[in-house]
Structure 1
Amino acid sequence: MNALTISLESVIDLTDEQFFQLCRKNSDLRFERNAQGDITVMAPEGGETGMRSASITTDLGIWNRQTKLGVTFGSSTGFKLPNGSDRSPDASWILKERWEALTTEQRSRFAPICPDFVIELMSPSDNLKVTQAKMQEYQDNGARLGWLINRKDREVEIYRIGKPKDVLQNPSSLSGEDVLPEFVLSLAEIW
């Protein structure tokens, strides 16, 4: 199943609270909303992609537990980006000071913040151009580092704030650079 996008323009303008409640009442589905208010119903991950996504989040979480530099999030976490869209990257991380600057109420909803680091792991049902646009949106909204992992083509697109994307062919590992000091993601189990 591919993702389904519903345009609500001129029909209804969901408030942030209404969108949050829609997501909560349909917790077996995964929604995202772009800056224009269009809602995308995301297809669930298949077992192969889900297993690899969990591995990525685990590695990021272990690194973060050791460094205590920030907060790690899984694929079901929603963020309200500065441009107004609501996104849920497959894995993400926010610098501790930025996360702690949010109020308890902000942290309990779709936090109004763009993660410092995001990962999107392509599923067979994902559209590359749509996912690339999402990665560009993260970068435009302040993500300092992003990885788009395309298993099918064994490529990784690296997005850095203020720089053009880099494309790596069949890398064996990825570096967290200065955003995630000393974090290295081995891709042996991802490919």
Structure 2
Amino acid sequence: MILTTLKLNLNTVDLTDEQFYQLCQNNRELNFERNAKGELIIMPPVGGESGNREADLIIDLGNWNRQTQLGYTFSSSTVFKLPNGADRSPDAAWIRRERWEALTPEQRRKFPPIAPDFVLELRSATDNLSTLQEKMLEYLDAGVKLGWLINPQQQQVEIYRLGQAVEVRNLPTELLGEDVLPGFSLSLNIY
């Protein structure tokens, strides 16, 4: 049995940010997100291969960040309260140091009200590609500067840049962090 993402339309139920936070805290075994339309999204867990790939990507980003100390790296367990009203959890994210440190301690403890500078999504076997592509566009709408959608099923990666058309590359390829993640490179071999 393959688990899929479940969307609940909450148009008539207006969850406050605090209520959404409490819903997540009271149901820690579930991964919740909210899109900019206010739909509640229940994310299925990923399998071993996707979890391992995701961990490797976070390690690569984290190692680069430890060397440069330019910002902070976040895992898929982090929910960001985006300026467009969405509450999203990218598989990996990064925020410049001065932007993160400008948040109050309370803002950092809960769901930080900030759009990451960089996000990475890794498509798992349970992910619908068009749903992930919509999520990537939502990130850009919220102010994310650079995003990578890695799609092992089609052996491609989609590169999202603020104010630019989406670039699609076939795997294997090398991705550069450009001016968002200066000096960061990621070699993607065939998954």
**Please, what TM-score do these two structures have when normalized by structure 2?**
0.96
Matched, 1:127 2:159: no
Report the Cα offset of residue 8 of structure 1.
1.6
Aligned match of 1:161: 162
Runs of 4+ in 1 over 4 A off after TM superposition: none
Q: Which of the numbers 2, 11, 15 marks the counterpart of 1:9?
A: 11
Aligned match of 1:46: 47
CA distance in 2, matches of 1:116, 1:171: 25
Aligned match of 1:181: 182
Note if contact 2:120-2:147 (Cα within 8 Å) is conserved in structure 1: yes
Percentage of identical aligned residues:
60
CA distance in 1, matches of 2:187, 2:30: 30
Q: One-letter code of the match for 2:186?
A: L
Q: One-letter code of the match for 2:65?
A: N
CA distance in 2, matches of 1:171, 1:139: 25
Matched, 1:72 2:67: no
Aligned match of 1:99: 100
Note if contact 1:156-1:167 (Cα within 8 Å) is conserved in structure 2: yes
Report the Cα offset of residue 171 of structure 1.
3.0
Which runs of no fewer than 5 residues in structure 1 stay unpaired? none
Note if contact 2:33-2:87 (Cα within 8 Å) is conserved in structure 1: yes
Note if contact 2:123-2:152 (Cα within 8 Å) is conserved in structure 1: yes
Q: One-letter code of the match for 1:170?
A: L
Note if contact 2:6-2:41 (Cα within 8 Å) is conserved in structure 1: yes
Q: Secondary structure at the match of 1:152?
A: helix
Aligned match of 2:110: 109
Which runs of no fewer than 5 residues in structure 2 stay unpaired? none
Q: One-letter code of the match for 1:48?
A: E
Q: Alignment length, in residue pairs?
A: 189
Report the Cα offset of residue 67 of structure 1.
0.1
Note if contact 1:75-1:91 (Cα within 8 Å) is conserved in structure 2: yes
Report the Cα offset of residue 29 of structure 1.
1.0
Aligned match of 1:30: 31
Report the Cα offset of residue 172 of structure 1.
2.8
Q: Secondary structure at the match of 1:13?
A: coil
Q: Secondary structure at the match of 2:165?
A: coil
**Please, what TM-score do these two structures have when normalized by structure 1?**
0.96
Report the Cα offset of residue 26 of structure 1.
1.0
Report the Cα offset of residue 178 of structure 1.
1.1
Alignment deviations for residues 131-155 of structure 1 (CA, whole Å, 9 cap, x no partner): 0010011111111100000001110
CA distance in 2, matches of 1:81, 1:108: 15
